[in-house]
């Protein structure tokens, strides 16, 4: 019976104050939603990726060899104690209607492919294409592959015509575009394909997929990534040794041939001198001489042979991009939602406290009737717990489903991963739920406990209204006297409820800060692209060629003299790497050694990161780009250590730090190059700026270059642009959600605090009505306070937003990118307008509420 | 002497249908200018409802109410507010002071909006609170608070002072003091005051007494010579 009545009382209470009940539930729900959502998304994304890696048994590392692995190589790798599994396969890059495609021998155990439609190729002339081309080709169609140039035979393949048997996907190629670099076409792979082993001419494999024995942990975890990196560092010298053996063997073969050739040549020359002119012999001599010349260049390329080993992060563009994306969300989840949650909790706390204070007499009545203390607070407890549970359950549900899905969808627009594997992260939900519940209980306890200690009789009397007091401002008589009466009243009232004043200020400030941050994140990221490609990078592509090639001159002619070329500059470039203990992945750095500094500066502006003044390339020392300096904590004069592709470490002195927002560069002069590498400076690339900078023109130029036989690869400067734009699309979606959530928070915070303010002062407002205040005067009497608090809150929010934005923009960009920390005035304006709009909305709603106040009821009753 | 208040066939019903409660039924009376009127009755008799309607805080269901030439029965909300603002001073059983304003500021709250307001400080001095101008309500006794409330009502310089059980929460002596202030207001300024009370013993202080039972006027009487509050005993 008792319980029934108590429940009935609670139910009535709830029905009578639905607005407040839902305010609390929405506040807690929003807080839980944002925190659970952002905390779940990163792990969910990784889990989804990991399950695909496990399903297809993605290899820990790949070793490649330009000349293939000999039987002895294979045996030696297999016998390494750290190698758990190694599978050898074939690969070659081809062109399909101008698109670069990597053709692999169908992998059987490591990095297997999943058939999406059709079946795997069985016959030598069958092929299965990656799903990237699913829309372009169909099963059963016959395709013709090209090599380096149109109508040339692809390297290593026995034939050019293949029948498409199906479409496959592979966790080695998870991106939809730019699957990796290649020497063909535009320098980026469009897709991959698998063919039976027999389709390759040579049976010497040139690709080894490796799983390591001692490596534990899930993909993307520190244990795993560090483990693999460690194994790679361990095994690299061994591979260098194998490569050296191979080089020596190949060299001695060539030397043998050269020796034979030379002997033959001497013989022929002698014969010729003896026998006089013989056209046939002349021909033979010419051929021999040509052979000898090509042997010399062969020797050059043999010397360049290495067996590089790459971890997933380095051989698999999708793997590292997915990891980086998930990490972005993780980073965001460590700052934004915590701020958010704190505001929600704070405001709930005030509301709940107020509710209990309002129900003081009711508590007294219960106590007087002989109900126990716990029974007296039963209705608040039930009310509070109900709203907390409702908020947490809805917030956690949407946070575990809607938010991760929305973010994942945005992020994986460019990926081929399957649908998101949603998981319930009970830890986060538990903590958020407990915090929400704890906030409610603490509010009830802090408000009800002191009251319950009083005698029931006292409790039933109205709590003496909070006494007025003078405020500090009144001491400043000059100012105080100039205030109108109503402004004095407002000033006094502002300081009357200090708790609520602070709460409103911090609530509004936090919401404004969140809005500014959310808008700022979007703008700062967009700004990366603008500044990078307007002020810093002016070249469109870098064409890398083989300086030893006999077709070098032809290549240079194309790179410098083509009609589309505006300017072209020679330089030496190579990709080097660096890593320190705090970084998960190797940082890939472009080493740039310009031939002519003057020309180079027209292609790439080296501006001081701090003063924006033009930097000159020093005689000694190097210039590193800003983000690299930041990651490795480099200052001018520090020593920086990087590794070449073969794992050899070099130490250089930092002479300057240059502004750069995307990617890492390390620039040095030819003199320094000779000193550091102990090698002659030979340019191997052309940095090219085109007259027409549309991406179609750039692609066309890239294809022209890769068709050259001297071509190694091309790098388009907008590859990086496309990458950041992918990241941006993802983040924009996240930010949009954050903006909406922050807006709702701002509204609910303003509404709740105004609601509390109004309901706590109903008697006062009724008095004003009786005295004959017109409705708008009554409204203003209370709204003046809200307006002032909101305005001051907005100003505080500016400062707070500036700080939060700077913090997030320092940690948010991927390791290879950097954002400008400055905020646009528009960020402040839009955030202000949104907040003011909510203020007006709240005032309209509350004005109705105030109009409904029954002045007689309020004035004639005791409480 | 023209009639300051004319009430004709006033009926006030709350709710509708079976739940309808009639608070005032077919009440008619007139009050001349400059009178102190007491409306007396048991609780629930409908006297407060009558006062609220006279004060423009509530409207009649039927009948006519004219105060100072203004027909309240057909007034809009806005007109009623203006009427309260310019013509009416209210005093309640619970003083309803704004806790965050000092005594003088509470009076200013009213004087600020009335067109012919009296000086707040003088008004407070007249109710004997010249020394407590800058005290907050929490620092004043019940009687002092009620005097501030009366000062607040008077400071508007209203044509009609309406008092709903003004002594209900006060002790005997303090109550007397408060009633004296009201009586003085009516008799010295020549304006009207109406006191609603359940205490029949104070009837002799009024010029005009209306007794209400079950929403109807049971008896109406006039005192040609009202006694001063000091001499009353109850």
Encoded tokens for A169: 């996907």
Alpha carbon distance A497, A504 (integer Å) = 11
CATH of the domain at B201: 3.40.50.300
Which of A180, A201, A222 is a domain's end point? A201
Calculated CA dihedral for residues B132, B134, B138, B143, nearest 10 degrees: 30
Alpha carbon distance A580, B195 (integer Å) = 88
pLDDT for A675 beyond 80: yes
Residue of chain A with shortest Cα separation from B139: A467
pLDDT value of position A861: 63
Residue of chain A with shortest Cα separation from B89: A771
Residues of A in contact with B132 (CB under 8 A): none
Residues of B in contact with A772 (CB under 8 A): 81-86, 88, 113-114, 156
Q: Do residues A687 and A699 share a domain?
A: yes
Q: Do residues A809 and A689 share a domain?
A: no
If you average pLDDT over residues A733-750, what whole number do you get?
Answer: 83
Domain presence at residue B221: yes
Identity of the residue in A464, A496, A775 whose CB atom sits nearest the CB atom of B100: A496
Domain presence at residue A321: no
Domain count, chain A: 3
Residue A187's domain spans which residues?
A: 91-201
Q: Do residues A708 and A809 share a domain?
A: no
From residue A559, alpha-carbon distances to A537, A566, A574, A702 in Å are 18, 10, 18, 10
Q: Does A784 touch chain B (CB under 8 A)?
A: no
Tell me the percentage of chain A whose pLDDT exceeds 90.
46
Identity of the residue in A469, A764, A860 whose CB atom sits nearest the CB atom of B92: A860
Domain presence at residue A824: yes
Domain presence at residue B74: no
For the CA atoms of chain A, what is the radius of gyration? 36
Query: Which carries the bigger pLDDT value, residue A277 or residue A652?
Result: A652
Residues of B in contact with A855 (CB under 8 A): 57
For the CA atoms of chain B, what is the radius of gyration? 17
| Cβ-defined contact of B100 to A775 (cutoff 8 Å) | no
The closest of A162, A235, A227, A236 to A193, measured between CA atoms, is A162
| Cβ-defined contact of B100 to A468 (cutoff 8 Å) | yes
Identity of the residue in A489, A763, A855 whose CB atom sits nearest the CB atom of B57: A855
Domain presence at residue B65: no
pLDDT for A143 beyond 90: yes
Q: Do residues A574 and A702 share a domain?
A: yes
The answer to whether B88 and A851 have CB atoms below 8 angstroms apart is no
Q: Does B85 touch chain A (CB under 8 A)?
A: yes
pLDDT for A273 beyond 80: no
Helix (H, G, I), strand (E, B), or coil: what is residue B5? strand
Residues of A in contact with B52 (CB under 8 A): 856
Domain count, chain B: 1
Q: Do residues A509 and A551 share a domain?
A: no
What does pLDDT average to over chain A? 87
Q: Do residues A632 and A526 share a domain?
A: no
Domain presence at residue B66: no
Q: Where is A646: in which H helix or E strand? A: none
Domain presence at residue B146: yes
CB atoms within 10 A of CB A81: 8
The closest of A364, A386, A368, A391 to A377, measured between CA atoms, is A364
Which of A170-174, A498-502, B20-24 is predicted least confidently?
A: A498-502
The answer to whether A570 and A681 have CB atoms below 8 angstroms apart is no
Interacting residues of A543 by C-beta distance below 8 A, sequence separation 6+:
A555, A559, A685, A686, A688, A702, A705, A711, A714
Which of A717, A751, A776 is a domain's end point? A717
Alpha carbon distance A89, A266 (integer Å) = 43
The answer to whether A84 and A212 have CB atoms below 8 angstroms apart is yes
Mutate one of B76, B97, B99, B100 to test the A interface: name it (highest A CB count within 10 A). B100
Residue of chain B with shortest Cα separation from A766: B96
pLDDT for A506 beyond 90: no
Please tell me the distance in Å from A501's CA to the nearest CA on chain B.
15
Residue B156's domain spans which residues?
A: 34-57+84-231
Domain presence at residue A346: no
Q: Do residues A701 and A598 share a domain?
A: yes
CA atoms within 13 A on the CB side of A459: 26
Which of A717, A746, A776 is a domain's end point? A717
pLDDT value of position A310: 92
CB atoms within 10 A of CB A289: 12
Alpha carbon distance B4, B160 (integer Å) = 10
Residues of B in contact with A770 (CB under 8 A): 55, 57, 84, 90, 96
Encoded tokens for A316: 């698999």
Domain presence at residue A189: yes
Domain presence at residue A819: yes
Q: Does A462 touch chain B (CB under 8 A)?
A: no
Please tell me the distance in Å from B202's CA to the nearest CA on chain A.
22
Q: Do residues A697 and A776 share a domain?
A: no
Q: Does A276 touch chain B (CB under 8 A)?
A: no
| Cβ-defined contact of B94 to A859 (cutoff 8 Å) | yes
Domain presence at residue B104: yes
Which of A138-147, A297-306, A635-644, A660-669 is predicted least confidently?
A: A297-306
Interacting residues of A786 by C-beta distance below 8 A, sequence separation 6+:
A504, A750, A753, A754, A757, A839, A842, A843
Domain presence at residue A167: yes
Domain presence at residue B99: yes
Domain presence at residue A377: no
pLDDT value of position A862: 55
Q: Do residues A526 and A547 share a domain?
A: no
pLDDT value of position A461: 62
pLDDT for B214 beyond 70: yes
Q: Does B135 touch chain A (CB under 8 A)?
A: no
Residue of chain B with shortest Cα separation from A761: B98
Q: Does A434 touch chain B (CB under 8 A)?
A: no
Q: Do residues A562 and A695 share a domain?
A: yes
**Angle made by CA atoms B77, B80, B81, in degrees to the nearest 5:** 90
For A550-590, write each residue's pLDDT tens digit: 889 999 999 999 999 999 999 999 999 998 877 767 888 99
Which of A63-67, A305-309, A458-462 is predicted least confidently?
A: A458-462
Q: Do residues A591 and A703 share a domain?
A: yes
Domain presence at residue B76: no
Q: Do residues A650 and A763 share a domain?
A: no
| Cβ-defined contact of A771 to B58 (cutoff 8 Å) | no
pLDDT value of position A863: 46
């Amino acid at each position: 019976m008792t319980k029934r009545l108590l429940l009935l009382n609670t139910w009535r209470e709830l029905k009578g104050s639905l607005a407040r009940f839902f305010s609390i539930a929405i506040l807690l729900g929003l807080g839980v939603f944002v925190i659970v959502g952002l905390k779940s998304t990163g792990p969910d994304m990784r889990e989804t990726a990991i399950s695909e890696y496990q399903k297809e048994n993605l290899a820990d590392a790949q070793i490649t060899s330009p000349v293939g692995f000999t039987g002895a190589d294979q045996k030696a790798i297999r016998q390494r104690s750290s190698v758990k599994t190694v599978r050898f396969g074939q690969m070659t890059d081809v062109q399909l209607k101008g698109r670069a495609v990597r053709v692999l021998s169908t992998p059987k155990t490591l990095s297997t492919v999943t058939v999406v439609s059709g079946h795997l190729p069985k016959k030598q002339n069958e092929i299965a294409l990656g799903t990237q081309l699913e829309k372009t080709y169909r099963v059963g169609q016959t395709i013709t592959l090209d090599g380096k140039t149109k109508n040339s035979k692809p390297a290593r393949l026995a034939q050019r015509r293949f029948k498409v048997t199906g479409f496959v996907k592979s966790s080695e190629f998870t991106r939809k575009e730019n699957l990796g670099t290649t020497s063909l076409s535009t320098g980026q792979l469009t897709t991959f394909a698998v063919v039976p082993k027999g389709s390759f001419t040579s049976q010497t494999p040139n690709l080894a997929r490796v799983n390591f024995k001692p490596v534990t942990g899930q993909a993307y975890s520190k244990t795993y990534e560090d483990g693999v990196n460690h194994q790679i560092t361990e095994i690299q010298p061994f591979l260098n040794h194998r490569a050296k053996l191979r080089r020596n063997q190949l060299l001695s073969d060539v030397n043998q041939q050269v020796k034979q050739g030379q002997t033959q040549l001497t013989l022929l020359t002698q014969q010729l001198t003896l026998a006089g002119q013989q056209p046939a012999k002349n021909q033979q001599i010419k051929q021999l001489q040509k052979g000898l010349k090509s042997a010399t260049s062969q020797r050059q390329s043999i010397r360049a042979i290495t067996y590089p080993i790459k971890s997933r992060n380095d051989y698999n563009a999708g793997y590292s991009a997915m990891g980086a994306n998930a990490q972005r969300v993780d980073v965001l989840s460590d700052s934004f939602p915590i701020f958010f949650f704190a505001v929600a909790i704070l405001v709930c706390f005030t509301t709940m406290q107020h509710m209990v204070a309002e129900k003081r007499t009711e508590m007294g009545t219960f106590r007087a009737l002989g109900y126990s203390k716990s029974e007296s607070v039963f209705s608040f407890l039930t009310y509070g717990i109900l709203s907390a549970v409702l908020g947490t359950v809805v917030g956690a549900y949407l946070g575990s489903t809607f938010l991760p899905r929305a973010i994942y969808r945005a992020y994986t627009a460019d990926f081929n991963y399957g649908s998101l594997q949603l998981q319930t992260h009970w830890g986060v939900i538990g903590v958020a739920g407990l915090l929400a519940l704890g906030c409610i209980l603490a509010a009830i306890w802090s408000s009800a406990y002191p009251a319950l200690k009083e005698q029931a009789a006292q409790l039933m009397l109205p709590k003496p209204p909070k006494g007025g007091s003078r405020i500090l401002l009144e001491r400043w008589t000059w100012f105080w006297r100039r205030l109108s009466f109503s402004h004095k009243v407002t000033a006094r009232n502002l300081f009357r409820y200090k708790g609520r004043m602070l709460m409103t200020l911090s609530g509004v400030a936090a919401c404004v800060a969140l809005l500014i941050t959310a808008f700022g994140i979007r703008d700062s990221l967009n700004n990366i692209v603008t500044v990078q490609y307007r002020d810093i990078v002016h070249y469109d592509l870098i064409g890398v060629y083989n300086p030893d090639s006999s077709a070098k001159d032809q290549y240079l002619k194309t790179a410098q003299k083509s009609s589309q070329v505006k300017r072209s500059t020679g330089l030496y470039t190579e990709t080097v790497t660096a890593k320190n203990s705090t970084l998960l992945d190797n940082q890939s750095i472009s080493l740039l050694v310009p031939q002519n500094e003057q020309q180079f500066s027209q292609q790439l502006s080296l501006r001081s990161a701090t003063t924006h003044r033009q930097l000159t390339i020093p005689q000694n020392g190097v210039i590193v780009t800003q983000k690299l300096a930041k990651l490795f904590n480099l200052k001018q004069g520090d020593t920086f250590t990087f590794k070449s592709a073969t794992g050899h470490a070099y130490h250089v002195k930092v002479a300057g730090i240059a502004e750069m927002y995307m990617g890492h560069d390390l620039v040095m002069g030819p003199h320094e190059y000779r000193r550091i590498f102990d090698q002659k400076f030979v340019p191997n690339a052309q940095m090219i700026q085109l007259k027409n900078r549309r991406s179609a023109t750039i692609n066309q130029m890239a294809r022209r270059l890769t068709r050259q036989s001297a071509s190694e690869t091309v790098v388009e400067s907008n590859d990086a642009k496309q990458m950041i734009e992918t990241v941006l699309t993802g983040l924009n979606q996240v930010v949009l959600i954050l903006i909406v959530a922050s807006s709702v928070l701002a509204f609910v915070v303003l509404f709740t605090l105004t609601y509390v303010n109004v309901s706590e002062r109903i008697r006062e407002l009724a008095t004003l009505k009786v005295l004959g205040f017109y409705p708008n005067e009554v409204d203003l009497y209370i709204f003046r306070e809200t307006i002032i608090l909101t305005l001051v809150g907005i100003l505080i929010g500016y400062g707070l937003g500036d700080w939060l934005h700077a913090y997030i923009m320092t940690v948010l960009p991927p390791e290879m990118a950097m954002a400008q920390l400055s905020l646009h005035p528009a960020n402040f304006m839009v955030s202000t307008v949104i907040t003011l709009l909510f203020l007006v909305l709240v005032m309209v709603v509350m004005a109705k509420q105030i109009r409904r106040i029954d002045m007689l009821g309020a004035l004639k009753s005791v409480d | 002497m023209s009639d300051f208040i004319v009430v004709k066939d006033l009926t006030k019903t709350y709710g509708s249908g079976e739940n309808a409660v009639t608070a005032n039924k077919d009440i008619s009376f007139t009050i001349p200018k400059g009178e102190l009127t007491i409306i007396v009755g048991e609780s629930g008799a409908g006297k407060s409802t009558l006062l609220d309607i006279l004060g423009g805080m509530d409207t009649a269901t039927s009948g006519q109410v004219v105060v100072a030439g203004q027909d309240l029965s057909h007034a809009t909300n806005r007109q009623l507010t203006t009427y309260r603002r310019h013509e009416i001073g209210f005093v309640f059983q619970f003083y309803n002071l704004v806790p965050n304003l000092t005594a003088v500021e509470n009076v200013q709250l009213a004087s600020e909006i009335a067109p012919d307001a009296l000086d707040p400080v003088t008004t407070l001095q007249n109710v004997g609170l010249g020394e407590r101008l800058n005290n907050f309500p929490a620092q004043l006794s019940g009687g002092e608070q009620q005097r501030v409330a009366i000062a607040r009502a008077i400071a508007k310089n209203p044509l009609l002072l309406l008092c709903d059980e003004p002594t209900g929460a006060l002790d005997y002596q303090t109550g007397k003091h408060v009633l004296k202030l009201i009586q003085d207001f009516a008799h010295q300024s020549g304006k009207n005051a109406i006191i609603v009370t359940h205490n029949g013993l104070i009837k002799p202080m009024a010029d005009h007494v209306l007794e209400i039972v079950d929403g109807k006027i049971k008896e109406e009487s006039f005192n040609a010579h009202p006694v001063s509050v000091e001499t009353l005993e109850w």
